[in-house]
């Protein structure tokens, strides 16, 4: 197969930042996807319906003319987010609420310190039928960084699932066999997104020939056995698994740093990277469901109209993009990919 036409896909998890950065990254996402779920971990975080609406307008102002792109907005869950704000958010078109355990990742300082504190708000979320998007990692210092996701499932997610049986939950950017198995056996209220980088790489990528900060993201890449389990899940045609790039831009000098930021920038070549991963698994015929159907079905939104076409063709990713006053280095900068969009 040398050509693949898909119903226009969506990205169910992306970071586009704010200000001047929007003008680099929004055009990349809008060129690939019809819609994208926009993460709210700005500084300060997006915690009100009004902030989400204003942020949406700033994103739309960065969409190049001629492209149709719909940002799907989210709120950032804190210990203090009031249940009323969920009702206002729903009315304002906000599609979901994001749970960051406090301290788990970039700009998560305002995140949740204890799930119980949010239960009134989660009840409102369940009532409104809005999904809770979960960064599923515990942060305790005595838990190994590679075990954070599996421990989160056992100690946080299983009790949460039991306490809110009809709350739609998306376990975001899953990285382990444990998560893939948990989601596969869970009921229809539970789903997961999978990034391209977790399908393509195992943790060796972070250490091959020296420390490679552009492969550092959270949850961190895991062993090969986990990568293989994610590939099986993504290519299984199980509608619980769908596309979420977790593309997370940081200026290159803050990734190539003594304390480098977490996040892989994949937005500019997202579909090409997923095609590479599905092709390697001889499962290109499963890409459309994963990229274009299962996400909107889970969120209760219509599938997109229109199509995109991927062609088998070698092309080389740029070394970097201008990013405000800095540079943004994509994952696989300067490397050759074998699928090209458009
Ligand atoms: O690698 C990551 N980067 N993981 C996250 O959870 C957040 C993201 C970011 O915002 O940079
Ligand atoms: Zn993310």
Domain limits, the chain: 3-341
Is the pLDDT at 295 greater than 90, yes or no?
yes
The pairing of strands 74-76 and 70-72 is unpaired
**Domain boundaries 3-341, CATH class:** alpha beta
- What per-residue confidence (pLDDT) applies to 315? 98
CA–CA gap between residue 244 and residue 246 (Å, rounded): 6
Give the position of tokens 């109209």. Answer: 305
Is the pLDDT at 238 greater than 90, yes or no?
yes
Please identify every residue annotated as catalytic. 246
- Indicate the range of 13-27, 96-110, 192-206 predicted with least confidence: 96-110
- Ligand 2 centre distance from Cα of residue 264 (Å): 10
Angle at 56 between CA 240 and CA 342, to 5 degrees: 65
Pocket of ligand 1 (CB under 6 A): 15, 41, 105-106, 135, 217-218, 248, 262-263
CA–CA gap between residue 46 and residue 111 (Å, rounded): 11
Helix segments in the chain, DSSP class H = 22-32, 49-60, 83-91, 119-128, 148-152, 158-163, 177-185, 196-200, 224-234, 252-255, 270-280, 287-288, 294-299
Residues 5-33, mean pLDDT to the nearest whole number: 98
- Residue minimizing CA distance to atom 2 of ligand 1: 263
- Ligand 1 centre distance from Cα of residue 99 (Å): 13
Residues 6+ apart with CB under 8 A from 186: 161, 240
| pLDDT grade for 246, boundaries at 50, 70 and 90 | very high
| pLDDT tens digits along 30-43 | 999 999 999 999 99
CA–CA gap between residue 331 and residue 314 (Å, rounded): 16
The values of phi and psi at residue 166, to 5°, are -110, 15
Question: What are the CA-CA distances from residue 276 to residues 193, 197, 302, 336 (Å)?
Answer: 17, 11, 27, 11
| pLDDT grade for 25, boundaries at 50, 70 and 90 | very high
Residues 127-133, mean pLDDT to the nearest whole number: 98
Give the position of tokens 């504190």. Answer: 117
- Find out whether 275 and 235 touch, Cβ atoms under 8 Å: no
Taking the C-alpha atoms of 177, 154, 186 and 271 in order, what is their torsion angle to the nearest 10 degrees? Answer: -40
- Ligand 2 centre distance from Cα of residue 175 (Å): 13
Residues 124-136, mean pLDDT to the nearest whole number: 98
Is the pLDDT at 148 greater than 90, yes or no?
yes
- Residue minimizing CA distance to atom 3 of ligand 1: 263
- Closest atom of ligand 1 to 41 CA is 10
| pLDDT grade for 1, boundaries at 50, 70 and 90 | confident
The pairing of strands 70-72 and 35-38 is parallel
Percent of the chain at pLDDT exceeding 90:
99
pTM: 0.98
CA–CA gap between residue 204 and residue 206 (Å, rounded): 5
**Best mutation site among 41, 195, 203 for ligand 1, i.e. most ligand atoms within 8 A of its Cβ?**
41
CA–CA gap between residue 134 and residue 326 (Å, rounded): 31
CA–CA gap between residue 169 and residue 42 (Å, rounded): 22
Residues facing 36 on adjacent strands: 11, 71
| pLDDT grade for 319, boundaries at 50, 70 and 90 | very high
Reading phi first (left if > 0) and then psi (alpha if -120 to 50, else beta), residue 19 is in left
- Find out whether 89 and 81 touch, Cβ atoms under 8 Å: no
- Ligand 2 centre distance from Cα of residue 193 (Å): 10
- What per-residue confidence (pLDDT) applies to 221? 98
């Amino acid at each position: 197969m040398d050509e693949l036409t898909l119903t226009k896909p969506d990205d169910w998890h992306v970071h586009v930042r704010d200000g001047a950065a929007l003008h680099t990254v929004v055009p990349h996402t809008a060129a690939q996807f019809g819609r994208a779920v926009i993460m709210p971990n700005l500084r300060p975080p997006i915690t009100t319906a009004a902030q989400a609406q204003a942020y949406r307008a700033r994103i739309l102002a960065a969409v190049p003319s001629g492209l149709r792109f719909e940002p799907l907005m989210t709120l950032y869950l804190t210990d203090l987010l009031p249940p009323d704000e969920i009702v206002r958010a729903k009315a304002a078109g906000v599609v979901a609420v994001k749970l960051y355990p406090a301290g788990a990742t970039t700009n998560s300082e305002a995140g949740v310190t204890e799930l119980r504190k949010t239960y009134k708000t989660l009840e409102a979320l369940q009532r409104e039928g809005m999904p809770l998007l979960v960064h599923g990692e515990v942060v305790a210092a005595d838990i190994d960084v590679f075990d954070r996701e599996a421990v989160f499932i056992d100690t946080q997610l299983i009790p949460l699932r039991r306490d809110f049986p009809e709350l739609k939950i998306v376990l975001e950017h899953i990285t382990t066999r444990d998560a893939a198995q948990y989601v596969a056996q869970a009921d229809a209220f539970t789903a997961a997104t999978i990034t391209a980088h977790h399908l393509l790489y195992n943790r060796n990528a972070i250490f091959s020939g020296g420390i490679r900060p552009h492969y550092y993201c959270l949850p961190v890449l895991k062993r090969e056995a986990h990568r293989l389990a994610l590939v099986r899940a993504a290519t299984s045609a199980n509608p619980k698994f769908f596309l979420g790039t977790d593309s997370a831009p940081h200026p290159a000098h803050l990734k190539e740093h003594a304390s480098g930021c977490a996040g892989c920038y994949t937005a500019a070549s997202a579909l090409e990277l997923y095609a590479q991963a599905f092709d390697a698994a001889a499962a290109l015929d499963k890409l459309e469901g994963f990229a274009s159907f299962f996400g909107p079905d889970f969120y209760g939104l219509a599938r997109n109209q229109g199509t995109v076409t991927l062609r088998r063709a070698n092309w080389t990713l740029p070394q970097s993009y201008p990013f405000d006053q800095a540079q943004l280095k994509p994952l696989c900068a300067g490397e050759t990919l074998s699928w090209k969009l458009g």
